[in-house]
Amino acid sequence: MKQIFLFLCLLLPLSALATVDGYKYPFDDPDDAARFEQLAQDLRCPKCQNQNLADSNAPVAVDLRDKVYELMQEGQSDEEIVGYLVDRYGDFVRYNPPFRAETFLLWFGPALVFVFGLLLLVLIRRGQKQPAAPLSAEEQARLQALKNKAKSS
Amino acid sequence: MNRAFLFIPLVGFIAMGILFWIGLGQEDKTSLPSPLIGKPFPTFILNTVESGESTNHLPQEPVLVNVWATWCPTCKAEHAFLNELAKEGVKIVGINYKDDDFKARQWLQAYGNPYLFNIADPDGKLGLELGVYGAPETFLVDSKGIIRAKHIGDLNPAVWDKLQPQFEAMQ
């Protein structure tokens, strides 16, 4: 019991990390705060390529957070805000890539590889299940000879 | 006959290996394609570093637009080459990105000024419009104010070899 409690205590700081600079970006409506949080999680920092806007402290990430906040205050929708950034920084800023012809492999690549593997497996299994070819007369004779040899020893 | 199928995973493995080799071995992973190519240069009203007067347009001729700052070490590395280009007659407009005018003027005095003029962008507002995320960045802008190309990182002879034909074609 005590151990579980201590473990939960360890997790506490994580929840603190999850909120982006709440003092700097005040919202009257908690829904808006949640929206901002979500946007900052889903948008990628162009400079530090493996972090989102919420996690990164790179100056450009701070600028983009400020911009997202500013656009939200202007009453823009999530799509408009993401569109604004994509127009300037490209699709790269989205952690959730759009579905288009050139992103086909990204979305369906894993499924295609899976189906391909499955097909391969079936083909190989089938090959193994084929009944062995009947023995030729020569082989029959050799088999008989081996059997006789086994018996006599 | 069916044994040939056994080699398919090997072939797949080699194919993926090659794919990753190319993908991960790319020379410049950090430079992202810009969605601004083919689009007009964003509108702005900002002051120049030199005189503090307001400006809102680029010269109506092909120019390089170079985003730089005194806090950016790579900008210093490329500065000598920009000076050379300016001597050859290449028109360069500077955007002094998130910087201080005074420091910028000191820098230009110390290292030479290859720019026609410098647009002061202390808050990075114009930088954001241009999708700037790491100075130095250089844009090729034609006489109609359309962005033709973008280079992220320092401008050096090797990079210029690639950009120059495009720039000449814009003349």
What's the pLDDT tens digit per position in B90-132? 999 999 999 999 999 999 999 999 999 999 999 888 999 998 9
pTM for the full predicted model? 0.70
C-alpha A56/C-alpha A67 separation (Å) is: 15
More reliable by pLDDT, B11 or A135: B11
What are the pLDDT digits (tens) for B76-89? 999 999 999 999 98
pLDDT confidence of residue A17: 47
Mean pLDDT of chain A: 83
CB-CB neighbors (< 8 A) of A87 in chain B:
35
C-alpha B44/C-alpha B61 separation (Å) is: 18
φ/ψ of B155, rounded to 5, equals -90, 120
Q: Which CATH superfamily is domain A17-98 in?
A: Cytochrome C biogenesis protein (1.10.8.640)
pLDDT confidence of residue A38: 87
pLDDT confidence of residue A75: 87
> Which residues sit opposite A73 in a β-bridge?
none
Domains of chain B: which residue ranges?
Answer: 32-170
Is B32-170 CATH 3.40.30.10?
A: yes
Domains of chain A: which residue ranges?
Answer: 17-98, 102-152
CA A116 to chain centre: 20
CB-CB neighbors (< 8 A) of A60 in chain B:
132-134
C-alpha B66/C-alpha B127 separation (Å) is: 11
Are the beta carbons of A90 and B33 separated by less than 8 Å? yes
What are the pLDDT digits (tens) for B37-58? 888 999 989 998 888 888 888 8
* Percent share of chain B, pLDDT over 70: 95
CA dist A144 → A75, A149, A153, B143 (Å): 91, 9, 14, 94
pLDDT confidence of residue B116: 92
Quick check: B20 contacting A, CB < 8 Å?
A: no
Interface test with A, best of B130, B133, B139, B147 (most A CBs within 10 A): B133
- Spell A76-98 as b/e; 16+ CB within 10 A means b: eeeeebbebbbebbbbbbeeeee
pLDDT confidence of residue A14: 58
Reported confidence tier of residue B67, pLDDT bands at 50, 70, 90: very high
